[in-house]
Amino acid sequence: MSGARGKFQYYDLVMAAFVTVLVCSNLIGPAKIAQIEVPGIGPYVFGAGVLFFPISYIFGDVLTEVYGYARARRVIWTGFAALAFASVMATVIVALPPAPFWEHQAAYEIAFGNAWRVVPASMVAYFCGEFVNSYVLAKMKVAQGGKHLWMRTIGSTIAGEAVDSALFYPLAFYGTGIIPNEALPLVMVAQFFTKTMVEVVFTPVTYKVVAFLKRAEGVDHYDRNTDFNPFKLET
């Protein structure tokens, strides 16, 4: 099946879910560093946003696997635009002078005041990581003849998350004091490991979603002649 149909029943819904997870995980989670005790290992430190951000990569895998790289590319750009708007909105709202009786400006600045740096860093890391993820999955699908879905979802996530993790935390927090510079490598490694493990845990769900969409949409796209230029929006 080539996916030549012009209209898909669930494509827009997957896009909306992808963008929602992307914006929420990049605005709400990154500034908080959490720590849990792992039996037999000790304290495990990670950025709180890492619990939900990997879901966007799962959606990215589903989009590329079912609809192909070109349609996934459009969704990636949609997410990019949403992050840009969120960054501008947060910057403007934090900068507005608070009313004299409103006593929560300091807390608001802690939660969203770094958005001017966090969101652009997220955008760079997201743009690079998502396109690496989609590209690797598309190429592996053709090379494997569509077999071993688990291998390409996990393999593409490892590649994409490695790029994302290496870019995001230094760009967002280096020199800010929110996260000590010396702690950044630990947070980056923990972020990469945790995100990859989320992909592994969700692999059975990914299988079911992919199988459902392929049946419902009547499409199973192979990117044999695809232009992988990330700046080209045509499908």
**Which CATH number fits the domain that encloses residue 50?**
1.10.1760
Residues of the chain falling short of pLDDT 70: 1-6, 29-31, 47, 113-116, 235
CA distance 110 to 89: 16
Domain that holds residue 22: 11-95+103-217
pLDDT for residue 2: 41
Residue 37 burial by Cβ neighbours in a 10 Å radius (0-12, 13-18, 19+): exposed
pLDDT for residue 32: 73
CA distance 31 to 58: 23
Structural domains counted in the chain: 1
6 within a domain of the structure (yes/no): no
172 within a domain of the structure (yes/no): yes
pLDDT for residue 229: 93
- Give the global pTM: 0.82
88 within a domain of the structure (yes/no): yes
